[in-house]
Amino acid sequence: MADEHPAQLTATEAARRIAQGRLTAEELVSACLERIRQLEPAVQAWQFLDEEHALSQARSADERRRSGEPVGGLCGIPVGVKDIIDTADMPTENGTVLDKGRMPRADAAVVARLRAAGGVIMGKTVSTECAYFTPGKTRNPHNPEHTPGGSSSGSAAAVAAHMVPLALGSQTAGSVIRPGAFCGAYAMKPTHGLIPRTGVLQLSRTLDHIGLFARSLDDIALLATELAGYDPGDPDTRPRARIPFTAVLNEAPPVEPMFAFIKTPHWARSDADTKEAYAELVQTLGDRVEEVELFASATDAWDWQRTIMEAEMAANLEPLWSRGRERLSERLRGLIERGTETRALDYQRILGRLPGVIESFDELFTERYDAILTPPALGTAPKGLAATGDPVFCVLWTLLGMPAVTLPLMQGANGLPLGVQLVGRRNFDARLLRTARWLERKLG
């Protein structure tokens, strides 16, 4: 391991070596830049990258550490940031030509927290158009003829290709978990409101989440520790004690976890690879998993999510629509047009139904289960670059604001990654990571 190329290191191991003086931030960032130069022509994960600026941040981190100043848990660690998350020193273009060259006045809250923790903002990763469905230029690092997923395409691909050990994304339907699964990265969508969205392109207050990409569960815990918490700019965050993600992750569960295998009404659409892999997974888990039917109260959730997303996106993207609707994709224009026609009564009725469904899932966890087991996508990354795949297996958990992770533990017949999604109880994110660690070790 001592001879391992720095770009291959997990963030946790790299941070340890930097703290011990066995690796410098400049060496790590230089190694990542070398990797980017090699693979970016094929993967195309980056919307903005300034090598000298990245190296300058790394040198500053090294100087702070050498001078004995207090440094954060991400000192010198390179992080990719999705191009809908504001950065005061780099453009944030939101995946649309209408915002080309846009320079934010301030960092988003999560970027400010990355900097405070010593992280190196490597650059801006490609987003689909306004974090919706129209793809950007990014390709799957395992096979460039296949989609990386979306909308956090560049972040998932950059981590999977070992260009950076960590990256940030966002999810409004399935934009973190799906590309994480397609690219073979670890990815997490936390509880709604756990990580602030201040300074991030707002699509839907009800549905938007910040998401995390990494190459290990330890790295997810490391990054979540620095980002979770209250921010006055995000009304869905709240003051709370610091969550000890890493400590909980490394605890042994008091008893072996129980899993509820929920296929959802969309199971029949899943690929043969998914059905076969999950049958084997359920067999391996034996008496630690039980198939559970989805509550009748949740069967309309996919329609609810669509209504909320269309209505709130239409309102939030109205300035772009007014500036240049003809420059938006046909698919995004259609969404905005439908959203403007949503009846207020229908929208309010749906919002009123969500707490009851959340309560039903809370009871499920309280009575018996530690996590829900369900696919992150219909199968492996589809061939072709005109679409980013279907988020259908992520929609329900996003709507309800429940934490979810995808683990790169399986493989399809075509050799592409096939993820395992675990969903936890709201506000029990650290315990979900602990359960994921148990499953990872169980499967070897």
Strands 46-49 and 120-125: antiparallel
Q: In angstroms, how far is CA 377 from the centroid of its own chain?
A: 14
**DSSP reduced 3-state for 306:** helix
Written as six digits, the tokens of 95 are 């995946």
Mind listing the domains of the chain with CATH numbers? 6-249 (3.90.1300.10), 259-300+344-442 (no CATH)
Query: What is the C-alpha separation between 288 and 403, in angstroms, rounded?
Result: 21
Contact 311, 350 (CB under 8 A): no
pLDDT value at residue 1:
47
DSSP state of 137: S
pLDDT value at residue 3:
61
Give the burial string for 188-225 (b: 16+ CB within 10 Å, else e). bbbbbbbbbbbbbbbbbbbbbbbbbbbbbbbbbbbbbb
Taking CA atoms, 332 is separated from 32, 100, 176, 327, 329, in Å, by 34, 17, 19, 10, 5
Known catalytic residue: 153? no
201-239 pLDDT per residue, tens: 999 999 999 999 999 999 999 999 999 999 999 999 999
User: Which is the catalytic residue, given 127, 155, 175, 270?
Assistant: 175
Q: What is the residue type of 87?
A: T
Written as six digits, the tokens of 20 are 């011990």
* Beta bridge partners of residue 281, listed in sequence order: none
**DSSP reduced 3-state for 1:** coil
Known catalytic residue: 82? yes
Q: Kindly give the residue spans of alpha helices, DSSP state H, lying in 44-87.
A: 51-66
Q: What is the residue type of 371?
A: A
Cβ-based neighbour number of residue 284 at 10 Å: 13
Within 13 Å, how many C-alpha atoms sit on residue 431's CB side? Answer: 19
Select from 388, 407, 419, 410 the least CA-distant residue to 174: 388
Select from 198, 188, 190, 189 the least CA-distant residue to 230: 198
User: Which is the catalytic residue, given 82, 124, 189, 263?
Assistant: 82
Written as six digits, the tokens of 439 are 């499953």
Contact 186, 216 (CB under 8 A): yes
Residues 6+ apart with CB under 8 A from 230: 196, 237, 238, 239, 240
Known catalytic residue: 360? no
Q: What is the residue type of 277?
A: A
pLDDT value at residue 444:
84
Contact 311, 339 (CB under 8 A): yes
Residues 6+ apart with CB under 8 A from 93: 47, 48, 83, 99, 100, 101, 102, 124
User: Percentage of residues in the chain with pLDDT exceeding 70?
Assistant: 99
User: Which is the catalytic residue, given 124, 127, 151, 204?
Assistant: 151
Q: How many H-runs (helices) and E-runs (strands) does the chain carry? A: 15, 11
Query: What is the C-alpha separation between 329 and 58, in angstroms, rounded?
Result: 38
DSSP state of 130: G
**DSSP reduced 3-state for 16:** helix
Residues 6+ apart with CB under 8 A from 8: 162
Print pLDDT tens along the chain (444 aa): 456 899 999 999 999 999 999 999 999 999 999 999 999 999 999 999 999 999 999 999 999 999 999 899 999 999 999 999 999 999 999 999 999 999 999 999 999 999 999 999 999 999 999 999 999 999 999 999 999 999 999 999 999 999 999 999 999 999 999 999 999 999 999 999 999 999 999 999 999 999 999 999 999 999 999 999 999 999 999 999 999 999 999 999 999 999 999 999 999 999 999 999 999 999 999 999 999 999 999 999 999 999 999 999 999 999 999 999 999 999 999 999 999 999 999 999 999 999 999 999 999 999 999 999 999 999 999 999 999 999 999 999 999 999 999 999 999 999 999 999 999 999 999 999 999 999 999 998
